[in-house]
Amino acid sequence: MSNLILILGDQLSHGLSSLQTIDKSHDRILMCEVWDEATYIKHHQKKIALIFSAMRHFAQELKEAGWQVDYIKLDDDGNSGSFKGEVERAINRHKPKNIVITEPAEWRVMEDVKSWPKDFNLTVEILPDDRFIATHHEFEAWAEGRKQLRMEYFYRDMRRKTNLLMNGDEPEGGKWNYDSENRKPAKDDMFMPKPVQFEPDEITQDVLKLVGEKFGNHFGDLEPFWFAVTHEQAKKVLDYFLEAALPSFGDYQDAMLTGQKFLYHSLLSPYINCGLLDPLEVCKRVEAEYKKGRIPLNATEGFIRQIIGWREYVRGIYWLKMPEYVKRNFLEAKRSLPDFYWTGKTDMQCLSEAITQTKEEAYAHHIQRLMVTGNFAMLAGVDPHEVHEWYLAVYADAYEWVELPNTLGMSQFGDGGILGSKPYAASGNYINKMSDYCKNCRFDVKQKIGDEACPFNALYWDFLIRNEDKLKGNPRLGQVYVTWNKMAEEKRVEYLASAAKFLETLK
């Protein structure tokens, strides 16, 4: 045999670079479910089930297409529990001349792979992952010499590179960004599309049994399990999004509603991130709907920006700044993550909603992640590393390359402003404006201090004052500190005392 090709659980794409280089008759593919990957962080049970089931379906598709595939199940005899162990066993079985792999998306796995040539005395060919739009080199070249790295400018380059929503050199409609039109609160009498759901087939049922037995002590509800697990099913999720949700995606992108877990979001991230959908193809389908006149420009641009802008940009930051990025704690926050992040049991309705649906679905949308769970953790001074580990564990779409910059950078300001220009800190007023959560909350969002007041209100000021030395030079926060300094001394003392009293109750 000449090549052994290792395909990882987030590389489930027929167009994968490693698959383009190999020969069906001489080479062999290895895919393996390994204990180390499922437990280096205690992933949500649904996330493990999604990945194992999608891996098994993909292996079956590859076999049907004529590839020789070794598929190692988690409970197969002799499973060593690690990628390295499984590659070693496959080398002993097949005696390949080379190992081929598309570059792993995470630093941790890449470091492991880099040690293999020496460990196995074989060449290891690491190919670029061309499912991403920007290469590492392109991002590094863009970042080189810039004082500030801002998504907006990088995004414009990606628009030019992909030619999405472009009229020659000009952006469609004359503006690059229509975000200011995407901030409407939702109302509960609006039509909400219900996500497409799939019955578990035999393969998925086997996986659900395995995950229940082996990982039943991990966070999250395993069932009902209705995720797409094949390319065909993931395409149905995309088709339905284009049909039913995309027209309103832009308007209500930032909205939150009690009991409405998905609103007009696409629910595509788990599938894009594990390879069942191709990000550029998804954007082209969205652009085609715009060209047909079915969806407005603000929704089209807003959606495409999330993928060719934010998604590519956070990946660029991750690879530019790792491995030291994960250790950053600019605000020196030290508090432990409150227990209710694992149960949803809190009187704060917004947090209870976001965490409970996370437990049920391994999903919360962007504003819930950023402005509810993320905002609260930052205001309360939770150690950003603990926050990062929580997000990495609980969401079906979480892989460190995308989760870490979003959590540590965007939501916790733990990188001191590499990813975003100011902390996303907000009082209860923002949550009240964008949701109906406050109506059903035991706290009063209008009250600023005291036991009945929304805790976000005092925590907001406490956060700004606690971190004044680090934040007061930020030009985007100048006005906020002016407001604080104009406040009566008595009021300021009450805010800080109210926050301190609340923080004492956090366990």
Residue 289 C-beta: closest distance to ligand DLZ, Å: 31
Beta strands 170-171 and 166-167, pairing class: antiparallel
Output 50 or 410, the one with its CB closest to ligand FAD.
Answer: 410
**Least distance to ligand SF4 from the beta carbon of 435, Å?**
7
Percent composition of the chain: helix, strand, coil (DSSP 3-state, to 5): 55, 5, 40
Q: What is the DSSP letter of 335?
A: B
Minimum Å distance from CB 141 to ligand DLZ? 24
Give the separation between CA 358 and CA 352, rounded to whole angstroms: 10
The binding site for ligand DLZ (CB under 6 A) comprises 8-10, 32-34, 37-38, 43, 48, 51, 104-106, 109, 399
Stretch 340-369 residues interacting with ligand FAD (CB under 6 A): 365-366, 369
DSSP 202-250: HHHHHHHHHHHHHHTTSSS---S-----SHHHHHHHHHHIIIIIHHHHT
Judge whether 177 and 301 are in contact, CB under 8 Å.
yes
For ligand FAD, the binding residue among 370, 434, 445, 449 (CB under 6 A) is 370
d(CA 56, CA 53): 5
Q: How far is the CB of 433 from ligand SF4 (least distance, A)?
A: 10
Report what 366 binds from ligand DLZ, ligand FAD, ligand SF4, none; CB cut-off 5-8 Å by kind.
ligand FAD
Examine residue 323 and say whether the peptide bond preceding it is cis (omega within 30 degrees of 0). Answer: yes
* CA 456 from centroid of its chain's CA atoms: 24
Nearer to ligand FAD, 28 or 388 (CB): 388
Least separation in angstroms between residue 146's CB and ligand FAD is 20
Contacted by 428, from ligand FAD, ligand DLZ, ligand SF4, none: CB < 5 to 8 Å by type: ligand SF4
What minimum distance in Å lies between the beta carbon of 342 and ligand FAD?
Answer: 16
For strands 28-32 and 3-6, give the pairing: parallel
β-bridge mates for residue 71, sequence order? 31
Helix (H, G, I), strand (E, B) or coil at 29: strand
Residue 438, contacted partner among ligand FAD, ligand SF4, ligand DLZ, none, CB below 5-8 A by kind: ligand SF4
Query: Which CB, 106 or 415, lies closer to ligand DLZ?
Result: 106
Secondary element (H or E) of residue 36: helix 35-39
Q: In the bound complex, what is the minimum distance in angstroms from residue 165's beta carbon to ligand FAD?
A: 15
For ligand SF4, what does the binding mask look like between residues 154 and 193, x meaning CB under 6 A? ----------------------------------------
Smallest separation, CB 12 to ligand DLZ (Å) = 9
Nearer to ligand SF4, 432 or 467 (CB): 432
Q: Is 428 in the site for ligand SF4 (CB under 6 A)?
A: yes
Closest separation in Å from C-beta 33 to ligand DLZ:
4
Q: Measured between alpha carbons, how far is 403 from 316 in angstroms, rounded to an integer?
A: 13
Candidates 162, 182, 349, 375; binder of ligand SF4 (CB under 6 A) is 349
Q: Give the per-residue contact string, 385-424, with ligand SF4 (x = CB under 6 A; - = no).
A: ----------------------------------------
Biggest alpha carbon–alpha carbon distance for the chain: 80
- Nearest 5°: the CA angle 355, 359, 364 is 60
What are the beta bridge partners of residue 435?
Answer: 256
Q: Which is nearer to ligand FAD, 215 or 363 (CB)?
A: 363
Where are the strands (E) in 226-325, listed by range? none
| Out of 10, 397, 415, 436, the residue judged to bind ligand FAD by CB under 6 A | 397
**Does 96 sit near ligand SF4 (CB under 6 A)?**
no
Pick what 338 binds: ligand SF4, ligand DLZ, ligand FAD, none; C-beta below 5 to 8 Å, kind-dependent: none
Rg (CA), the chain: 24
Computed from CA positions of residues 404, 405, 408, 410, in that sequence, does the dihedral angle turn out positive or negative?
A: negative
Instruction: Single out the residue of 480, 457, 477 nearest to residue 417, CA to CA.
Output: 477
Distance from C-alpha of 341 to C-alpha of 391, rounded to nearest angstrom: 10
In the complex, what is the shortest distance from the CB of residue 407 to ligand FAD, in angstroms, rounded to a whole number?
4
DSSP SS3 for 175: coil
**φ/ψ (deg, to 5) at 167:** -115, 90
Interaction pattern, residues 431-450, with ligand SF4; x per rule: CB under 6 A: xx----xx--x-x-x-----
Residue 39 CB-density burial (10 A; 0-12 exposed, 13-18 middle, 19+ buried): middle
Residues that bind ligand SF4 (CB under 6 A): 348-350, 428, 431-432, 437-438, 441, 443, 445, 454-456
Residues that bind ligand FAD (CB under 6 A): 265-269, 272-273, 303, 306-307, 310-311, 314, 365-366, 369-370, 374, 391, 395, 397-398, 402-403, 406-407, 410-411
